[in-house]
C-alpha cells in the first residue's frame, strides 16, 4: 500500500495552505465572538480571489472572494462599533422574527436564480469571465455567503444555517475541482459552524437570564 501523498493532499502552493490556516483560525475566533477573526478573513479572501480566477475557473466564487475584502472590513468596523465601550446596549446574538426569516429565505432563493442566470449570460459576452464550472452549486454558495455574512455581522443566529449549507456544498465543490485542502477547509468550517452556533446560543441565553 502506497503512502499518503501529502503534497497532493495539502495543495500545490503555499498560498492554499496560508489561506486555509487563516480561514480556519478566523472562523474559530468569530465563533468565539473574537473580533480578530475579521483581519484573518481578509488574508483568506485575498488569496482565494486569486486562486478562484486563475486556477479553478470558479467565477462566482472569484467574485465572492473579491467582494469579501470590503465585507470583512465592514464586519470588523461594525463589531468594533457595537461592541465598543460607547455602545448603547450589549452586542449579543439574537434570532430574527419568523416573518423576517421567511423573507430572508425567499430572497436567498431568488438571489441564487438571478445570480446563476446572470453569470451564465455574462460568460458568453464578457471576455474576462471564463465559462463557469458547477454553475448552480457555485451560485448557491456565493449568494448564501453574502446573506450569512450580513447576518453574522449583526450577530443573527440564522447566519449559522446559511453556513451549514455553504460548507456542505463547499466540501463537494473543491473536491471535484481537485483542491483537497480547500475541501478539508470546508470540512473544518462545517464543524466550526456547529461549534459557533453552540457558543453563540450560550451567549444569547446568558444575556436573557
Average pLDDT, the chain: 84
In tens, the pLDDT along 14-41 reads 888 888 889 889 989 999 999 999 999 9
DSSP 3: P
- For residue 89, the tally of other CB atoms under 10 A from its CB is 7
161-170 contacts at long range (C-beta below 8 A, 24 or more positions apart): 162/108, 163/189, 163/193, 163/196, 164/190, 164/193, 164/194, 165/140, 165/141, 166/140, 166/141, 167/193, 169/137, 169/140, 169/141, 170/141
Mean pLDDT of 48-59: 80
Band of pLDDT at residue 68, cut at 50, 70 and 90? confident
Mean pLDDT of 121-137: 76
> What pLDDT, on the 0 to 100 scale, is given for residue 182?
75
This prediction's pTM? 0.78
Residue 9 has pLDDT above 70, yes or no: no
Amino acid at each position: 500500500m502506497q503512502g499518503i501523498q501529502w503534497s497532493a493532499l495539502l495543495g500545490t502552493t503555499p498560498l492554499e495552505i496560508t489561506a486555509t490556516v487563516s480561514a480556519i483560525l478566523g472562523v474559530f475566533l468569530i465563533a468565539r465572538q473574537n473580533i480578530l477573526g475579521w483581519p484573518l478573513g481578509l488574508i483568506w479572501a485575498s488569496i482565494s480571489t486569486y486562486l478562484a480566477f486563475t486556477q479553478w475557473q470558479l467565477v462566482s466564487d472569484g467574485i465572492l472572494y473579491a467582494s469579501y475584502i470590503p465585507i470583512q472590513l465592514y464586519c470588523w468596523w461594525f463589531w468594533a462599533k457595537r461592541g465598543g465601550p460607547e455602545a448603547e446596549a450589549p452586542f449579543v446574538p439574537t434570532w430574527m422574527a419568523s416573518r423576517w426569516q421567511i423573507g430572508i429565505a425567499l430572497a436567498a432563493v431568488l438571489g441564487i436564480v438571478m445570480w446563476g442566470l446572470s453569470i451564465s449570460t455574462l460568460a458568453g459576452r464578457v471576455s474576462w469571465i471564463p465559462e463557469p464550472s458547477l454553475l448552480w452549486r457555485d451560485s448557491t454558495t456565493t449568494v448564501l455567503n453574502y446573506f450569512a455574512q450580513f447576518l453574522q455581522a449583526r450577530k443573527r443566529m440564522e447566519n449559522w444555517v446559511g453556513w451549514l449549507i455553504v460548507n456542505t456544498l463547499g466540501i463537494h465543490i473543491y473536491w471535484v475541482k481537485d483542491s483537497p485542502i480547500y475541501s478539508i477547509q470546508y470540512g473544518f468550517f462545517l464543524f466550526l459552524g456547529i461549534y459557533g452556533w453552540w457558543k453563540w446560543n450560550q451567549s444569547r441565553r446568558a444575556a436573557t437570564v
